[in-house]
């Protein structure tokens, strides 16, 4: 006989503000920001988001035609005339930031990478490259990752962008923007030295502040293994008295081995693997420990602006079948338990994560449920992942005590309050996407400290049978050219769905609801006082 677990929420035990650490997203392909599907995706999130998201695309300074490709893009801002005098083209920048701002979000401007005109001459002999019809040129293959040959011109480019967006959007909007130099300079995104990065950061920060003194600048956006680079960066900023308004780094939950496979379509994974929460938390803990060493920066916001279950974003189930979790109910539940554990990790450090960015957006030209790390699939169909963020949006602004009794390790919860509403997320998760089975575990959700009177209970669910466009698509035969009727059937089930009808209850003074949780699953229970 299965023993019933219990989660007790005390509506009178206020634990303080509930930080909206999930409210940010990012992606490589800047030119897909303003496609019809990209713009709709941003607007969809903006419509349910309880707070504006920060949106962080790569490649604003990369040269190119603006053609969107997987893991590539180009803002194409910087150019020089025949005499070497810089001039700027903000066409793509305007399309990008218009789409973000008009959807109700704020850009995190990642200032990278090196424009073609600023590629140093030594890069052209240093970088080994052999031309191929499937590649563009040496520039796309790697020249963009070298330090610009003229830091002054790069600083001028930065200043010109800041001046342009202030003129276009106004300071009331731009005061919410974040300015970050480069991406992952501890690996091959930066083919220079740490000292060169420090020098470029100094010039960049000064250029930004000269135009807009209130701007928030930061970095260094290192990988999960970049702790030495992070420490050296913070020490250099302390030694030079440079502004650091936020500190950023990344973490990834899995690098599947082999990373990519070549075989018949539909081949199973050679080794079953899953994202690991423990790896991500270990990397976050280590980076927060480094930041804690610097009291002048430990109180600044920490942004994990790539906080991802696995890499890379643009590969899917046809590359490695382990990426299947990105299509399923597993991923939204993974995100819920990850956010809870990051909030708990914050309690152990002076430095605290304020944003944990999902590197997920929208991919153009893919098959239905390709398995890329994205909120939507072909035809803009929303994947189950979107519903995790809908559920997060229903959480209140104050965190409440939620205590588990006889809870298995795979069950956890987070509770909140806002005004006359109590919202509780309860989930069942295992760091094994292949562990799903048909069995359920009963969990008694007990709420104490409620004001006596009439309340309404809403119960939403994410699992295999609810809030899950993927299983509907599968039930229809997994069509790769769905009919209008099939598309309508899929989209009708893509949102956050109720497990049951709303229920009016009389509270005096508590309430008990038993949840039956399959693996994986997530329940959102919202109680609202009437009258």
- Going by their DSSP bridges, the two strands 178-181 and 301-308 should be labelled as unpaired
The pLDDT mean for the chain works out to: 96
Q: How far is CA 503 from CA 26, 337, 498, 520, in A?
A: 38, 27, 11, 25
Domains of the chain in sequence order: 5-9+398-529 (2.60.40.1500), 19-362 (3.20.20.80)
- Going by their DSSP bridges, the two strands 453-462 and 497-498 should be labelled as antiparallel
- pLDDT tens string 308-324: 999 999 999 999 999 99
pLDDT greater than 60 at residue 352: yes
For the segment 407-423, the average pLDDT, to the nearest whole number, is 95
pLDDT at 329: 98
For the segment 1-28, the average pLDDT, to the nearest whole number, is 93
pLDDT at 274: 97
- pLDDT tens string 354-370: 999 999 999 999 999 99
Tokens of 510: 């508590």
DSSP conformation letters of 365-407: SPPTT---SBSB-GGGPBPHHHHHHHHHHTS-SEEEEEEEES-
CB 58, CB 74: distance < 8 Å: no
The larger pLDDT score, comparing residue 132 to residue 200, is at 200
pLDDT greater than 50 at residue 141: yes
pLDDT at 416: 98
For the segment 389-394, the average pLDDT, to the nearest whole number, is 98
Our answer to whether residue 184 is catalytic in this structure is yes
pLDDT greater than 60 at residue 1: no
Which helix H or strand E contains 171, and what residues bound it? helix 171-174
pLDDT at 363: 97
Query: In whole angstroms, what is the distance from residue 151 CA to residue 271 CA?
Result: 46
Q: Which of 350, 94, 355 is nearest to 216 (CA)?
A: 355
CB 48, CB 387: distance < 8 Å: no
Q: Which of 513, 492, 7, 19 is nearest to 301 (CA)?
A: 19
pLDDT at 2: 61
Q: How confident is the model at residue 407 (pLDDT cuts 50, 70, 90)?
A: confident
For the segment 215-235, the average pLDDT, to the nearest whole number, is 98
Strands (E), 172-227: 178-181, 216-222
- pLDDT tens string 462-512: 999 999 999 999 999 999 999 999 999 999 999 999 999 999 999 988 999
Q: Which of 400, 408, 409, 398 is nearest to 447 (CA)?
A: 400
Q: How confident is the model at residue 438 (pLDDT cuts 50, 70, 90)?
A: confident
Query: What's the CA dihedral at 262, 276, 474, 48 to 10 degrees?
Result: -120
pLDDT at 133: 86
Of 180, 184, 382, 410, the active-site residue reads 184
Query: In whole angstroms, what is the distance from residue 271 CA to residue 256 CA?
Result: 9
Q: How confident is the model at residue 85 (pLDDT cuts 50, 70, 90)?
A: very high
For the segment 410-428, the average pLDDT, to the nearest whole number, is 97
Share of the chain above pLDDT 70, in %: 100
Share of the chain above pLDDT 90, in %: 94
Query: In whole angstroms, what is the distance from residue 350 CA to residue 54 CA?
Result: 23
CB 217, CB 229: distance < 8 Å: no
Query: In whole angstroms, what is the distance from residue 494 CA to residue 41 CA?
Result: 13
């Amino acid at each position: 006989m299965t023993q019933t677990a219990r989660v007790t929420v005390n509506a009178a035990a206020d634990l303080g503000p509930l930080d909206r650490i999930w409210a940010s997203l990012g992606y490589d392909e800047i030119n897909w920001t303003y496609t019809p599907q990209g713009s709709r995706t941003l607007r969809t999130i903006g419509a349910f988001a309880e707070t504006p998201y920060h949106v962080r695309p790569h490649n604003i300074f990369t040269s190119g035609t603006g053609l969107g490709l997987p893991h590539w893009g180009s803002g194409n801002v910087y150019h020089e005339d025949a005499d070497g005098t810089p001039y700027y083209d903000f066409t793509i920048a305007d399309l990008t930031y218009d789409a973000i701002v008009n959807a109700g979000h704020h850009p995190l401007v990642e200032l990278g990478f090196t424009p073609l005109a600023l590629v140093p001459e030594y890069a052209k002999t240093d970088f080994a490259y052999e031309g191929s019809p499937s590649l563009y040129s040496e520039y796309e293959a790697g020249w963009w990752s070298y330090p610009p040959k003229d830091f002054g011109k790069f600083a001028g480019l930065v200043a010109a962008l800041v001046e342009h967006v202030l003129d276009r959007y106004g300071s009331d909007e731009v005061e919410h923007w974040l300015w970050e130099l480069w991406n992952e300079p501890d690996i091959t995104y930066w083919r220079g030295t740490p000292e060169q990065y420090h020098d470029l950061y100094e010039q960049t920060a000064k250029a930004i502040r000269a135009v807009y003194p209130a701007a928030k600048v930061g970095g260094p956006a290192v990988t999960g293994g970049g702790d030495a680079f992070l420490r050296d960066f913070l020490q250099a900023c302390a030694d030079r008295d440079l502004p650091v308004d936020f500190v950023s780094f990344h973490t990834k939950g899995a690098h599947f081995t082999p990373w990519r496979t070549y075989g018949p379509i539909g081949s199973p994974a050679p080794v079953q693997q899953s994202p690991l929460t423990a790896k991500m938390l270990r990397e976050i803990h280590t980076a927060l420990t480094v930041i804690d060493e610097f009291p002048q920066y430990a109180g600044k916001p920490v942004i994990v602006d790539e906080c991802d279950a696995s890499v890379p974003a643009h590969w899917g189930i046809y590359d490695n079948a382990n990426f299947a979790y990105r299509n399923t109910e597993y991923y939204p539940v993974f995100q819920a338990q990850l956010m809870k554990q990051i909030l708990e990790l914050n309690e152990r450090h002076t430095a605290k994560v304020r944003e944990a960015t999902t590197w997920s957006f929208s991919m153009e030209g893919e098959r239905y449920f390709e398995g890329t790390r994205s909120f939507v699939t072909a035809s803009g169909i929303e994947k189950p992942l979107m519903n995790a963020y809908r559920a997060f949006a229903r959480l209140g602004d104050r965190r409440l005590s939620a205590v588990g009794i006889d809870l298995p390790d795979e069950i956890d919860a987070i509770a909140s309050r806002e005004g006359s509403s109590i919202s509780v997320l309860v989930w069942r998760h295992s760091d094994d996407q292949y562990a799903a089975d048909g069995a359920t575990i009963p969990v008694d959700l007990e709420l104490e400290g409620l004001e006596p009177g009439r309340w309404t209970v809403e119960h939403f669910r994410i699992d295999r049978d609810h809030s899950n466009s993927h299983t509907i698509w599968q039930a229809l035969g997994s069509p790769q050219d769905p009919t209008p009727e099939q598309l309508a059937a899929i989209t009708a089930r893509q949102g956050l769905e109720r497990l049951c009808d709303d229920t009016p209850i009389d509270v005096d003074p508590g309430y008990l609801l038993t949840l039956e949780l399959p693996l994986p699953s997530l329940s959102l229970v919202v109680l609202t006082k009437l009258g």
